């Protein structure tokens, strides 16, 4: 092989190595700028964090005020005809770890439908302000319907609080 041909192949190989190195560097720089993907959501993961998670049109129809300053607010989002009404249980307590709606019924007929979600409302500094969970209510409640409901809150120390009302008149709709 002639000397000019060898110089040409060596030059092409070096150019190829430089371009390949630049591509690796550029890819690493771009990858560092992209945040890592969030882990997949599972049903048993801790509460999601989000601000203004409970809709503004959720109207409070019952409230439990406790001596320690915490409160459980029961709210309904009215049915729009196509979607069922949503029941939100919102607990403001610094010690609460989980919140569950155990049952809801109109008379003897259960109306607690599918699970609609849960989360944590956070304040301006990222601190938890309230836990909430939501369920569909089927059939949609009418104004003045007598609703019985039971909720359970579990505190971070493992203690439980059970909230129960029988035949509450809902004026949320």
Task: Give the closest residue to 115 by CA, choosing from 87, 92, 96.
Answer: 87
Helix (H, G, I), strand (E, B) or coil at 113: strand
Per-chain mean pLDDT for the chain? 74
Segment 66-111, tens digit of pLDDT: 777 788 888 888 877 777 788 888 888 877 778 888 888 877 778 8
Task: Give the closest residue to 136 by CA, choosing from 77, 90, 91.
Answer: 77
Segment 114-143, tens digit of pLDDT: 888 887 777 677 667 788 888 888 765 565
Tokens of 90: 């919102």
**Predicted local distance difference test score (pLDDT) of residue 51:** 45
pLDDT at 41 > cutoff 70: no
Confidence (pTM): 0.63
DSSP states along 13-57: HHHHHHHHHHHHHHHHHHHHHSPPPPPPP-TTSPPPEETT-S-TT
């Amino acid at each position: 092989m002639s000397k000019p041909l060898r110089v040409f192949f060596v030059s092409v190989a070096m150019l190829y190595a430089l371009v390949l190195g630049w591509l690796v560097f550029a890819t690493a720089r771009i990858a560092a700028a992209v945040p890592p993907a969030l882990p997949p959501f599972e049903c048993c993961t801790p509460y999601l964090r989000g601000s203004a998670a409970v809709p503004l049109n959720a109207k409070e129809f019952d409230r439990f005020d406790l001596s320690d300053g915490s409160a459980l607010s029961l709210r309904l989002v009215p049915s729009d005809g196509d979607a069922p009404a949503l029941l939100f249980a919102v607990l403001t307590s610094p010690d609460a770890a989980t919140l569950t709606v155990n049952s809801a019924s109109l008379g003897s007929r259960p109306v607690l439908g599918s699970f609609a979600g849960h989360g944590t409302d956070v304040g301006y500094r990222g601190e938890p302000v309230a836990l909430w969970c939501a369920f569909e209510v089927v059939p949609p409640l009418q104004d003045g319907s007598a609703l019985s409901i039971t909720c359970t809150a579990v505190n971070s120390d493992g203690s439980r609080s059970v909230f129960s009302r029988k035949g509450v008149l809902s004026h949320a709709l």
